[in-house]
Structure 1
Amino acid sequence: MNILYLISYAGKAGTEKYVENLMRTYSAQGHRCFLAYMDGGELAEKAKALGCGVFRLDLRAAHALAAAKSIAWLCAENGIDVIHAQYPRENVIAVLSRLWRRETRVVFTSHLTVRQSFLWRAVNRRITPHDAACIAVCTQGANLLRENGVKEEKVRVIFNGVAPKPLPPRRNVIRTEFTLPEDCFVFLTMARYAPEKGLFFLLDALAQLKERTDAPFACLIAGDGELFDAVGEGIRERGLDENVIRAGYRTDAEALMCSSDVYVSSALYNEAMSFAALEAMECGLPLVMTDVGAGADLADGCGECVPPGDASALCDALHRLMTDGMYRRTCGENARRRAVTEFDLMRQTEELLALYQKG
């Protein structure tokens, strides 16, 4: 099967990880994968390294028809069977490409967890009937697809997955690299320094936690982004210099997870299903999640889920997992079990491939 993945920004965030996983898996199975994008980055380079066909197009809304015609030509030249569009604008362009090549099927994955505008809901009502399927990666995302104008019969929930692997051993990377005491409790979050990731909300909860306990703890934030300096100032203002580590962008996620005690996601909005949280579960880490996107789906039996923006509730959740060792171990064991049974990458790719083929 020949599959074209369509995405505006081919960078290094969660959606790009989603596409990379699919391209890597299907390429290994003998399918031919292609990538069309507008702004380049890490995903585009990885696609080239995989031997996938890579095309750069102008996907701006003002050029949607021209982009659709170019995609139809690419599909004809390469015998594309299905276009898998990421995000609503890409889906509109993919569906419009069928004006010139009707035999190409279109599958759309929504990575958004926001209610769209009236105009977008009207667009969805006209465009998505022409999709073979509209995929949500979490229950909340499926409900929002329906609210955003997608018909019930088009909606499918296919959870993200991670490649199964043996439980990695515990490590001490964080305590060693950042000279933390052996009894320091370590929280980990992997997030871009962006408003939707709720890092100031996390700092507020950590400040409350510092007032509540004398036990040593640290929260390592791995990531980069436009709010990096502002978060640093927020750390200083809250007196958390000894408790929060801004580690920058890291490529050793597994080592960090195996050196941590609890994984935390403080997302406020627009978070569908965190790959970092899934990878943390695979490493046997309990979770503290906000009720955004798949937060409740993932935290079920594996930790705590709190309302986004409620710093007191987040502090309570952090404190409970920090102080209740038996509960923490149970949540970690459940997280590992669910990661390898419910959130398996092979299950995800098999379900998607069935949709590609069924049309």
Structure 2
Amino acid sequence: MLKKLSQTPTRQRVAPDLFTLADHERSAQRQLDAKAWAYFSGGAGDEITLHANRSAWDELALLPRVLRPLAGGHTRCTLLGRELAHPILLAPVAYQRLAHPDGEIASAYAAGAMGAGLVLSMQASSPLEDVAAAMHGDPGAGPLWLQLYLQHDRALVRDLVERAEAAGCEALVVTVDAPTSGVRDRERRAAFALPPEVQAVNLARMAPAVQAPLAPGQSALFDGLLRHAPTWDDIAWLQAQTRLPVLLKGVLHAEDARLALAQGMDGLIVSNHGGRTLDTAVSTARALPRIADAVGGALPLLVDGGLRRGTDVFKALALGASAVLIGRPALWGLANAGAAGVAHVLRLLRDELEACMALSGCATLANISAAALDSPR
């Protein structure tokens, strides 16, 4: 049974034997029950994309420069007009109270303390306004963005947009790569189901979808659920509902990036949903340079999927990303030590990024380019 959700984060210490994100992952597996572990760590199908996301970063070799001026270096960057202390944001992860009773509130406190941005999942297990209050309580906090899936209930979507604007969110992130769930065998084997204490609280008032009876031979997926699947017209509708920047998350194909640019999107997140939707989809490290070429610097690009070291963050920036999103590693930190654990994961990545920059001869993020990689784009 989970403890009652509180606005004050639980005081915990990070174990002294956690030195890397891999250490956090091993420890988190011991903290979580088998069902929650399957939900958070598993991918779709044979988990080929899940593992490719990680291996693709490892396969990129760095080509460092020496004897370059490094004094006064820093990790500051600008994203959607906002200066950030570093280019590391927390990705949207649903139902974080499965990992720790403080859930998204703890992640918000950690992001605030570490100057990181936070993308709050539409399926968060903590109210949007409570997360915003925790995030904005720290003057050095990065931006808070709200992630959305476009739903059949347009009134609910409009309400969420209005709540996001009122709560001080600075952008909307629309996940576009999951019109249906992936085939998640690991979850099914674990018989995963949400406990009654953990729910998508911000969707409590969503009207049920009305499904017409299927005719013989019709597909429950294509003729049922996917009747409500969003299209570019739905993205245009959302753009008309808000004054906030709108980014698309889940773009892997260069032609979709060009369409997004033509439609006036404010940014793109190169993502394959952490390998949780379409198995054998391209890894994000391989897709990123193609998307960067397609938009030609006209849009900010972010990337997620398999980043576990500061060297991975450096490589992502070298391939054309403006910033990165961290999903599972923050969850491991949350499971291990609540807000302190998430903050520790962010601190490790930032420290490793600084070390990589110095050892590669790059004093600032502006110095990082494809020339820092020993592989042709």
What TM-score does the superposition give when structure 1 sets the normalisation length? 0.30
What TM-score does the superposition give when structure 2 sets the normalisation length? 0.29
More helix, by proportion: 1
Q: Which has the higher contact order (CA 8 A, sep 6+)?
A: 2
More strand, by proportion: 1
